Amino acid sequence: MEETTTIDISAVNEKIAQESAFIDLLTTEMNKAIVGQKHMVERLLIGLLGQGHILLEGVPGLAKTLAINSLAKAVKGSFSRIQFTPDLLPADVIGTLIYNIKENDFSIKKGPIFANFVLADEINRAPAKVQSALLEAMQERQVTIGDETFKLDAPFLVMATQNPVEQEGTYPLPEAQVDRFMLKTIIDYPKLNEEQLIIRQNLKGDHEPIKPVVTLKQILSAQKAAREVYMDEKIEKYILDLVFATRYPEKYDLENLKPLISFGASPRGSINLANASKCYAFIKRRGYVIPEDVRAVVHDVLRHRIGITYEAEAENVTSEEIINKIVNEVEVP
């Protein structure tokens, strides 16, 4: 029995090596426009391969819009950007029915959600009504306008951004809605030498145009292949331990975390952690998941799924630190 598993793994490994050949091409192409920010580019690819969506948090000017736009160009997919504002309506996102006088009938005008890559800029600026219209499309991958339902094109990736600095006039995303995002990635400033390069490139103004290097068909095929990445039962157990430690820290010798956590990660957290680990292995061109893959994505998958108590806030303890303690304590297979 063991022998067949080994043969299977080597076959899967070979398949993944072939299927993931375009990853280097895609990254190189995106790097023409984006300097540094390797973490963000990697997370975008995980979201794309795992059919998930990404919430990016960072101060303005860190190439968030540029990143998803570059990805859309390199994949030859359609791209749309929605600037969320307090006066935005659900119809501005998904589309609406328009009365046509000539035809004496209603026609459907589709909104910017009908694209492969959708950038929801400053999602926390729009009221809950608009946020929920977008989140329904993200979850169901379909949109209902009037009495007609439209399937959204595949691949479909929403990248929402949040500005952590200015909180006046914003509507924070409720926990249940934040949970719909596969990853929440925090973006930091570039390093000094990277920023020097950014200045030079921008002052020269001769950006190399991004060419389409991958087809949408290849992406859809890669999404299927990423699901086939082998995950051992021990790794599954490790993922479950990490998630369960956010719910019942006392069972993992982490009693001191109990008063700091108001609620732990949902089953969606376990699914996304397993999915993101497989996609990370795929990006690293490996046909099987190792514990390092799980550890590489655990912060992005869980940071928005752990509720912290007032006590934690008073002690300035973040969900980030809670995850660090859990990762250090839970036994690695």
C-alpha–C-alpha distance, residues 18 and 13, integer Å: 9
Fold of 22-218: Rossmann fold (3.40.50)
Q: How far is CA 107 from the centre of its chain?
A: 34
Nearest Cα residue to 293 out of 49, 53, 55: 49
pLDDT score for 206: 66
Q: Scanning the structure block, which residue is given the tokens 């160009």?
A: 73
Strand bridging mode 148-151 / 54-57: unpaired
Q: Where are the domains of the chain?
A: 22-218, 229-329
Give Cα 236 distance to the centre of its chain.
21
pLDDT for position 98: 85
Q: How many H-runs (helices) and E-runs (strands) does the chain carry?
A: 14, 11
Is this prediction's pTM over 0.85? yes
Superfamily of segment(s) 229-329: Magnesium chelatase subunit I, C-Terminal domain (1.10.8.80)
Q: What is residue 201's predicted lDDT score, i.e. its pLDDT?
A: 79
Say what the pLDDT of residue 26 is.
Answer: 87
pLDDT along the chain (333 residues), means of 10: 53 80 85 80 90 86 81 87 89 87 82 90 84 83 86 89 69 77 87 83 78 88 89 92 92 87 90 94 89 93 90 87 90 85
User: What is the pLDDT at residue 113?
Assistant: 92
Rounded distance, CA 264 to CA 296, Å?
A: 20
